[in-house]
Copies of this chain bind each other. A is one copy, B any other.
Amino acid sequence: MVTDCAKCPLRISKIFDDMSAEELRFMQKFKVGETTLEKGTPILMEGSNSPQLYTALRGMGLRYKLLPNGRRQVINFVLPGDFIGLQAGVMGEVRHSVEATTSMTLCVFDRSELWTLFRQQPERAYDLTWLASVEEHFLGEVLTSVGQMSASERITWGLLRFFARCSAVGLTSGGSCPFPYRQQDLADALGLSLVHTNKTLTKLRDRQILSWRDGTLRILDTEKAKEIAMIDDAKPAARPLI
């Protein structure tokens, strides 16, 4: 029942870099299995020392951090193709938690093989650095958004970004994509209160910028949305898939 790397449904997407047969063989060996998780299941727990690394194959999740005062920061939304646990693999333990928001399928890798990968497959090592670097860059953008934008700008920015990520992995249809989270999740991701997030969403819907109902996000006016979010990006570049 395990997906063959060579037939990986994600790899077919043109957003991901191609691999040679040899490289695929190595990845297949690196991959030790596959798991399917129910919605709501924790994948990594803060402070834990997971012996495994994952790549999301299907479904969506949430990376977050809890504070002693009970507040929560959602660091990022997890989409198919995302690598999970690199920090744990490199640093020993994770300082944030990851959980499945919808049911998910994960590719499982053995952390102890990470070093083998660095020695035998410099291309994959490079890819890993690439992934970490891109994630770092992305977090810089989130920080900029949360630090410098108003509520409606942040929300527009966050949803537009999410839409773009969905688009890159083929999860969009027309101007809409799934967004299976709660308003509280979005609020915690953008540093806003639930109530204010709700009211701002209503305003954005009234202004015909975007709408989010029943787990579906629709970008109604791409131009206006990009202007509000101060985004002018072209399309995303090809990226590695581990």
The 8 A CB mask of A172-216 against B (1 = contact, 0 = none) is 000000000000000010110000000000000000000000000
Tell me whether A235 is interfacial, beta carbon within 8 Å.
Answer: no
Q: Give A10-25 interface residues, CB cut-off 8 Å to B.
A: none
Residues of B within 8 A of A230 (CB): 67-69
Tell me whether A125 is interfacial, beta carbon within 8 Å.
Answer: yes
Residues of B within 8 A of A135 (CB): 136
Docked Cα-Cα span, A132 to B130, in Å, equals 9
Docked Cα-Cα span, A180 to B125, in Å, equals 37
| Number of A residues with CB within 8 Å of any CB on chain B | 45
Cβ-neighbour of A132 out of B67, B75, B132, B147 (below 8 A): B132
Tell me whether A122 is interfacial, beta carbon within 8 Å.
Answer: yes
Residues of B within 8 A of A140 (CB): 65, 73, 75, 95-96, 139
Tell me whether A142 is interfacial, beta carbon within 8 Å.
Answer: yes
A90 to B: closest C-beta gap in Å: 5
Known: A141-B95, A143-B143. A72 touches B148 (CB 8 A): yes
